Amino acid sequence: MSQSSQAVLFERRGHVAVVTMNRPEGLNAVNHALSQGVGEALAEIDRDPGLRAGIITGTGRAFSAGADLKALAAGESAMPSDPRWGFAGIVHHVVAKPLIAAVNGLAYGGGLEIAISCDLVVASSDAMFALPEVKRGLIAGAGGLVRLAGLIPPKLAMEIALTGAPISALRAGELGLVNLVVEPDRLLDEALDLAGRIAANAPLAVQASKRVLQRIVAGARPEEALGWALTQSEAAALQLSEDFKEGPRAFAEKRDPVWTGR
């Protein structure tokens, strides 16, 4: 696998690949390099017959703080070169093999959306989850609004999306958003143990089971099509508003936004 930068690290552990988002100085915020690196790593997991599962985690105190808003304010793209992969190289990237998110800290905005793009989630006890986009004049456009209500009770999904307030790993576990909450120093070991228990099974049967549970047909999830279309339509309308420009600008200038509702 060719990596264009060190924004993403890739390691094989037997039948399991560990993919590490490696921009700790920016809380693993998603820019083009990170999206490209994750996308390439997932493509390698799919291609390599010796790999049966993948783990995605982060370096430092964050899993991912979401989109790199400073890059967004500067007009830079956070998308990979292959548009079929989607944000962070994962949200539209249908991978045949099971993926486990090992959430090591903050999973905000796109970070939460990366986590729920995976099939299972193991979280450090100090991890936090949030969709804070509404605090920046944005919407959760990378799958949060499409997928969250299918993973937890819809009214709680609405609360998370509309308030932007974070929830703890313990609360996420209670809601069923997380499979397992572990001590920070046990995170990768526990994720590897879960991946190992999956990899010990018949790989074709595992992949077939994933396709049925995720409603994957011909490498796509047709049941999500309406949700994605609505997300794109609403996001396009928001991009024409003054508030859309004000949110990232205020973030970059380290001040509270001034909303006008226009």
Task: For residue 253, indicate whether it is catalytic.
Answer: no
Active-site residue, selected from the candidate residues 40, 44, 133, 190: 133
Q: How many CA atoms lie within 13 A of 7 on its CB side?
A: 25
Give the long-range contacts of residues 5-11, CB within 8 A, separation 24 or more.
5/33, 5/36, 5/37, 7/31, 7/33, 7/34, 7/36, 7/37, 8/33, 8/34, 8/36, 8/37, 8/38, 8/40, 8/41, 9/59, 10/41, 10/44
Q: Catalytic residue among 25, 40, 76, 113, which?
A: 113
φ and ψ of 234, to 5 deg = -70, -40
Number of C-beta neighbours around residue 221 at 10 A: 17
Residue 224, Cβ neighbours under 10 Å: how many? 17
d(CA 119, CA 195): 11
Active site residue 113: yes
Pure H helices in 118-224: 144-151, 154-163, 169-175, 187-199, 203-213
Record the tokens describing residue 114, joined without a space.
Answer: 């990366």
Catalytic site positions = 113, 133
